Amino acid sequence: MALGGIDYFIIIIYLIGTVLFGMYIGRKMKSGDDYFLAGRSLPWWAIGMSLVVTDIGAVDMVGIAGAAYLYGIVLGNYDWLGSVPVMIVGAFLFIPMFWKSKVSTIPEWLGARYNQSVRTISAVIWGVVTAFGLGVTLYATALMFNLLLDLNPKIIVVTESQSVREQVVDATGAGKTHDFVFLSDYGQIQKVIDDKDPNLVLIHQDWSGALSSESAIVSFNENEITPDWGESMMHKARPPTWTLMYSIIIMSVLIGTYTLFGGLKAVVYTDVLQCIVMLGGSLFVLFFGIYRLGGVSEFVSIIRSLGPRAQDHFDLILSVDTATPHPWSGIFLGLGLVLANAYWFGNQNMVQRTLGAKSEADAKASYVFGSFLKILIPFAMVIPGIIALAHDPNITDADKAMAILVKDILPTGALGLFFAAFLAGLMSSVDSALNSGATIWTKDVYQKFIKPNASPGDLLVVGRWITGVMLAIAIFFAQFATRFESIYDLSQTILSLFQGPSLAIIAVGMLWKRATGKAALVSLISGVIFAGTLMWVNSNASVPLFQVSEPFLYVAWWSFVLSIVILVVVSLNTPPEPESKLKGLVYRYE
């Protein structure tokens, strides 16, 4: 189904309305505190909705659905186990401690609890990772934007063999950059060429019919398919007139505009609107998708009929020896005990909203409210990915599953609504990362080392400049996301490199007054190096350390364990921190 006039109308009105609304909210911005923390005036309900829509974001709308297309309902653990219970704990333990300390960033709290070296290293790590993660988000944006607007270059492959289809996709290496259109009916080739205007047509076996196309038409045999053949075919393909980078730049400008002028307050209040639109649009896809398949029983039957590739798609718990990145041991240890806690207690994108709450009660209530909304997310994001598998089991790039599903099944008007829902997730992801990254670089680097006596107005100006620079860096990083099979796995891999050590020094520092600054510094650096080493060894060893395809859960767990051990051992062998320094920063130590 192509976008109709009503779809474009909905999209344009939503885009213009959101940007103007964000700029209107930020019209009275006068200081850095206004820009970074909304003047500490945010209510619980707005923060809660902002937390949820930021957490889902464009990466999840594309990546979780894509991962569910590959692996199934096990992805629901990232919300039911990785968010709901963790947010409840955080609401009554960690969040009140952060809010009462009146800091602007997590690194600033680490500096107060430990020392300025810990603060600086943590800030630099978070600042760099935020920019890279923002690039992944922008890539996810462009991916769905191009698919829904049918902007991707296309390759038509005519063959009756599923094996040949897969070989062609692998050989050309174009699964991420081009849309593949597969045909088995040779009599339909010209019709599809006229309809799709492909950049390349590949026909299995000899073809004697007359075809007309502005692009190369090549016949091939199965034994010709090699990487060199694939490369030569891509050289023959007509150059694309529109690329992912164009879409990335367009969306960056739109979202950057209201984030640049509106700060955290604009981010949170536009997120309220985006949360409603995104959840509504995604849940509509869930119900309408199941209806189009013929009901729940027919949906389950289709998945079961796909054989071994989908045999575990309705299993929430997978065995330790599963080939997927989501074994139960990794889910419990890496996600439940490390990544989820690090994400909700130590991620600047999340915590910064609660730091802008107007009271401690609002900060607590926002996490509780958000946890209830998170229960809905697997229904809105994970199951549609499995529906996409039932709808079309031949999608070459799983990250395109959600876009292909909605484009194929939704009627005119509803397609525009979903596009608006996607834009909502995108905007929230980008504006949150921009604002939190700018806060870290401004407060923990610029104000700390360059201009300690900067006025509130200076911080506002610098924060806006840094927002623009981060957006430019993210645009550059976005092009590298095409190298990964799943952008969700990519984003989790990035986080796993440092979130284990970060969680260790935050949790132990808040719960154990004997933890020292020197120990935290050694623990943080050692943990990050260890995580990176594990990843490198696993990727380059002749026999991988882990059985799973993407071991980010195990890397997070073992780097967390090592960091805890180092932190405790070194703390017990270094002088304790002064009592006066710890009050208000350690749990129940006022």
% of the chain residues with pLDDT over 90: 30
Q: What is the pLDDT of residue 512?
A: 93
371-387 residue pLDDT tens: 999 999 889 889 999 99
| Model confidence at 361: pLDDT above 90 | yes
Pair 515, 567: CB distance under 8 Å = yes
Sheet harboring 179-183: ordered strands across? 179-183, 154-158, 200-204, 216-220
Q: Which residue has the tokens 């909705």?
A: 49
pLDDT band at 262, cuts 50/70/90? low
Q: What is the pLDDT of residue 550?
A: 76
Domain with CATH 3.40.50 in the chain: 154-241
Report how far Cα 503 is from the mean position of its chain's Cα atoms. 20
Domain with CATH 1.20.1730.10 in the chain: 5-149+245-582
**β-bridge partners, 219:** 203
| Model confidence at 207: pLDDT above 70 | no
Q: What is the pLDDT of residue 383?
A: 93
Which CATH fold topology does 154-241 show?
A: Rossmann fold (3.40.50)
% of the chain residues with pLDDT over 70: 93
Extract the tokens encoding 459: 């911080």
DSSP state of 240: P
| Backbone φ and ψ of 318, nearest 5° | -110, 150
Extract the tokens encoding 215: 């692009």
Domain 5-149+245-582 is classified in which CATH homologous superfamily? Sodium/glucose cotransporter (1.20.1730.10)
44-100 residue pLDDT tens: 999 999 898 888 766 677 778 888 998 999 888 888 888 899 999 999 989 999 999
| Model confidence at 183: pLDDT above 60 | yes
Q: What is the pLDDT of residue 66?
A: 86
Q: What is the pTM of this model?
A: 0.80
| Model confidence at 270: pLDDT above 80 | no
Q: What is the pLDDT of residue 362?
A: 96
The CB-side HSE value for 87 (13 A sphere, CA atoms) comes to 27
299-342 residue pLDDT tens: 999 999 998 888 888 888 888 877 777 788 888 888 888 888 88
Q: What is the pLDDT of residue 2?
A: 63
Alpha carbon separation from 578 to 111, 127, 506, 520, 582 (Å, rounded): 14, 30, 18, 15, 7
Q: Which residue has the higher pLDDT, 1 or 258?
A: 258
Q: Which residue has the higher pLDDT, 107 or 463?
A: 107
Average model confidence (pLDDT) across the chain: 85
Taking Cα atoms as reference points, which of 257, 261, 255, 259 lies closest to residue 28? 261
| Backbone φ and ψ of 201, nearest 5° | -125, 125
Q: b/e map of 175-202 (b: 16 or more CB within 10 Å)? A: bbbbbbbbbeeeeebeebbeebebbbbb
Q: b/e map of 400-438 (b: 16 or more CB within 10 Å)? A: bbbbbbbbebbeeebbbbbbbbbbbbbbbbbbbbbbbbb
Pair 515, 508: CB distance under 8 Å = yes
Q: What is the pLDDT of residue 258?
A: 64
571-586 residue pLDDT tens: 999 999 998 888 888 8
403-442 residue pLDDT tens: 888 888 888 887 887 777 677 666 667 777 777 888 888 8
Report how far Cα 338 is from the mean position of its chain's Cα atoms. 18
103-132 residue pLDDT tens: 989 999 999 999 999 999 999 988 888 888
Q: What is the pLDDT of residue 511?
A: 92
Q: Which residue has the tokens 């596009």?
A: 419
| Model confidence at 278: pLDDT above 60 | yes
510-541 residue pLDDT tens: 999 999 999 999 999 999 999 999 988 888 87
Rounded average pLDDT over 211-240: 89
Q: What is the pLDDT of residue 515?
A: 95
